[in-house]
Amino acid sequence: MIRNAHVDDVEGMSRLINQFAKKDLMLPRPLSELYEKIRDHYVYVENGSIRGCASLHVFWKDLAEIKSVAVDENFQKRGVGKELIQKCFEDGKRLGVNKLFVLTYIPEFFEHMGFKRVDKELLPHKIWSECVKCHKFPDCGEIPLLIEI
C-alpha cells in the first residue's frame, strides 16, 4: 500500500535510501532532511515494513522534482517503483504542477514511464543548490529527465 510518509517511517526510509546510496545508485539523504521534508515523501508499506519510498519536491509553479525513489531489492520488478512514480504524478497534477523532472543514475526506469532526457541547462539553477553539497560535484553522473503531466 502506498501512503504519505509519517515521521515514524523516516528511519526505515533512511535505511532503504542509504542502502542504495552505498552502491552509488542514488544520493544519500540525512535523517534531518527526511524529517524536514516528510510532507514530500510517500512510502510503500507491506506487512508493516517500508519496502519503497519516493518524494515530490515542488521547485516552481510549473516544475517539481521526483527524488529518493528506492524499492527494497526483494520487492523490485513487482511494479512498486511504478506505483510510487504514479503517486508523484497524481500529486503533481493535484498541486497544479505540469512538469516533473528527475536526476538519476538509472534513466531507463524513468524512460519506460515516458520521461525524456534533457540538457541540464534546461533546468533552473536553483536545483543545483543541492548538487553543490554532494561529494561528486561537479563530476556527477546523474542524468536529467523530464516529463509533462
Which is more confidently placed, 127 or 43?
43
CATH number at residue 73: 3.40.630.30
C-alpha torsion sign, points 11, 134, 108, 41: positive
* Cβ proximity of 4 and 41 under 8 Å: yes
What's phi and psi for 72, nearest 5 deg?
A: -45, 135
Per the model's pLDDT, the better-predicted residue between 65 and 124 turns out to be: 65
Place of cell 504524478: 89
Domain total for the chain? 1
Of residues 123 and 66, which shows the higher confidence score? 66
Count of alpha carbons within 13 Å of 111, Cβ hemisphere only?
A: 10
Domain holding 43, by residue range, is 2-148
Per-residue pLDDT tens for 91-147? Answer: 999 999 999 999 998 999 999 999 999 988 777 765 666 665 655 655 667 889 999
Residue 92: predicted pLDDT: 97
124: preceding bond cis by omega (within 30 degrees): no
The pLDDT of 46-73, averaged and rounded, is: 95
Question: Do 103 and 144 touch, CB atoms closer than 8 A?
Answer: yes
CB 65 within 8 Å of CB 95: no
| Average pLDDT for 31-51 | 96
Give the C-alpha separation, 48 to 105, whole Å.
29
Average predicted confidence (pLDDT) for the chain: 91
